[in-house]
Amino acid sequence: MNDTEPQSHAGPTIIPRPEHGLSRADISSNALKVLYRLKSTGHQAFLVGGGVRDILLGHHPKDFDVATDAHPDEVRELFRNCRLIGRRFRLAHVRFGREVIEVVTFRSAGDGVADDRQHSDAGRILRDNVYGAIHEDIWRRDFTVNALYYNIADFSIWDYTSGMDDVASRTLRLIGDPETRYQEDPVRMLRAARFAAKLRFDIAEDSAEPIRELGELLRDVPPARLYDETLKLFQSGHATRSFERLQEFNLLQYLFPHTAAALASDETGEVQNFIREGLENTDRRVHADEPVTPMFLYAVMLWHPIRSLATRIQAEEESSEIEALLDACDELVSEQQDHTSYPRRFSTPMKDMLVMQLRFENRRGARAHRLLNHKRFRAAYDFLLLRARCGEADPELAEWWTEVQTLDPGEQRKAFSLKRPPRRRRSSRRSSRPPKPRAAQ
């Protein structure tokens, strides 16, 4: 049996409460309510997945998932605040205010391929609603460190693989045959890169080896799902390390092909430096609990490909610099949709933000002055600062736009060479007084 093959016949290794570091004090009170309610009604109930892993690592998990032998309809009967979701994977969400506890039913999985689940010709899972026992449910889990079950009945941890050892050695290892598991769900390759970046784990050699060869399978994954995974990779506080892992395993090309091509021809390191600086800025914002937006992320990733295409369009069509930039934005954003779908509510303001980089160069007149009140000004200004730090925008220009924001309105007008205050428009409304009555005819 493979080292990561679930011990379905021999049973799990059970680590009693005194021999592990997971305490109920580290678990959300709402997750405990769900666990205890399931247990009190005769069901098995386990905390499972990242919550167990993170507590063992000394982290404070944000999400807590529960696994049980209760079917989704049974879970819904136990909790009034429960909603069943999902078609591909049917599961229950038990809501406590803003906190949602996800409850999944043990699923049957056999050896991961030869079972009753529905697969595509390439081996990808299409349907997985066949319920089973806990020793079969292990196949739902991707990595050993995500397959540790905390039993609320006696506070022990059940380990069907090498999960506890891999947590201790900080190793990310797929359960079962890596090639088969990647074929089942190609997104597991991106998850391997993400967890390795997030946890600062090494990927086990046998789990890492097939990734470069099987990366092509990601082309068959719906762009909307890849978009969701992209946000998890780059907007969770470990964007720079995720970027490094994606490059290491040649996976970036399946998310941002134009960016990967720009990096491949980046002889001076300009593109690499710009992206890393932009991602480090995103990480700082996440760690400071400041908002981040896909608009800025995609601008960082696509800026150099868009700029290169705009230069070519301007030369070939003799269009203005701004027109060429807009055309380049439209073309590349449209092509990006085939890889990671990018909602228009982010792509449209991104275009505004990038065009403003050209408009920042003009510092005279009312049009330049109006940029200060543009709804994209702050994002565009932050992007200008990023470009200045990387040496592709004049630092003096960035300093000027920084200083002008601190001036009072009168001084701002002088800075933009506006001599006269704007004239007040005369109201075109008629007097509100009622008209005088006309004399009777």
Active site residues: 63, 65, 142
CA angle 268, 306, 302 (to 5 degrees): 75
Distance of CA 177 to the CA centre of its chain: 27
Instruction: Please tell me the distance from the alpha carbon of residue 321 to that of residue 309, in angstroms, as a whole number.
Output: 11
Three-state secondary structure readout of the chain: CCCCCCCCCCCCEEECHHHCCCCHHHCCHHHHHHHHHHHHCCCCEEEECHHHHHHHCCCCCCCCEEEECCCHHHHHHHCCCEEEECCCCCEEEEEECCEEEEEEECECCCCCCCCCCEECCCCCEEECCCECCHHHHHHHCCEHHHCEEEECCCCEEEECCCHHHHHHHCEECECCCHHHHHHHCCHHHHHHHHHHHHHCCEECHHHHCCHHHHHHHHHHCCHHHHHHHHHHHHCCCCHHHHHHHHHHCCCHHHHCHHHHHHHHCCCCCHHHHHHHHHHHHHHHHHHCCCCCCHHHHHHHHHHHHHHHHHHHHHHHHCCCHHHHHHHHHHHHHHHHCCCCCCCHHHHHHHHHHHHHHHHCCCCCCHHHHHHHHCCCHHHHHHHHHHHHHCCCCCHHHHHHHHHHCCCCHHHHHHHCCCCCCCCCCCCCCCCCCCCCCCCCC
Instruction: Please tell me the distance from the alpha carbon of residue 217 to that of residue 219, in angstroms, as a whole number.
Output: 5
CB atoms within 10 A of CB 97: 7
Q: How much is the CA Rg of the chain, to the nearest whole Å?
A: 28
Token readout for 219 is 């082309």
Instruction: Please tell me the distance from the alpha carbon of residue 71 to that of residue 69, in angstroms, as a whole number.
Output: 6
Cβ contact 340:227 at 8 Å? yes
Question: Which residue type does 342 have?
Answer: Y
Instruction: Please tell me the distance from the alpha carbon of residue 48 to that of residue 70, in angstroms, as a whole number.
Output: 15
